[in-house]
Amino acid sequence: MSDWLLLLIIPAILLFLHSKWSGKLLLGLASGLKQHAETKALAEWQGNYYKWGDQQIRIVEKDGNIWVVDADLLNAAGLKLDKNLRRKLQISYGGYALIPGTRQYGFSETAVLEFLNGKQARNPEITKLKLWFEREVFFTLQRKREGV
């Protein structure tokens, strides 16, 4: 950039910064950016949080399919997610995969019920969790899709 252009730009910037409108403009811009960042950060999960006891369960709807974030389901079932468990889940359940358009792994609706069916014989709480998914989560989302 040439020196004469800098000589024009620097005084213009200084004049702007000392004007009575610059403070309002900068505050408005900062406020708008903050609000946009907050909205963007929560937009993906807006209206898709469910709660099982103290555990939040994130639900993702993509292309008409329902996905449950794996870490949330496993925590609710009393299991800890690690790489070995993730490999076992990928082998055992066809509906366990990377959720389309996200960086999260999850269970499809069918895989959630299949996974919980396999665990419920050992734990009555899992039976309650399965019923909760069927009645509170999947039924509600199905009615929402149908427009009821």
Average of per-residue pLDDT across 29-56:
68
Question: % helix / strand / coil in the chain, to the nearest 5?
Answer: 60, 15, 20
Print the domain residue range for 70. Answer: 49-146
Local structure of 103: helix, strand or coil: coil
Q: Does 37 share its domain with 54? A: no
pLDDT band at 118 (very low <50, low <70, confident <90, very high): confident
Tens digit of pLDDT for each residue in 78-91? 889 998 999 999 99
* Pair 107, 115: CB distance under 8 Å: yes
Q: Does 16 share its domain with 63? A: no
Q: Does 63 share its domain with 131? A: yes
Q: Does 88 share its domain with 134? A: yes
Q: Does 37 share its domain with 67? A: no
**Closest listed residue to residue 70, CA positions, set 4, 54, 87, 135:** 87
Q: Does 90 share its domain with 116? A: yes
Q: Does the pLDDT value for residue 29 go beyond 60?
A: no
CA distance 77 to 70: 10
Q: Does 99 share its domain with 33? A: no
Find where tokens 């199905």 sit: 142
Instruction: Name 50's bridge partners.
Output: 57
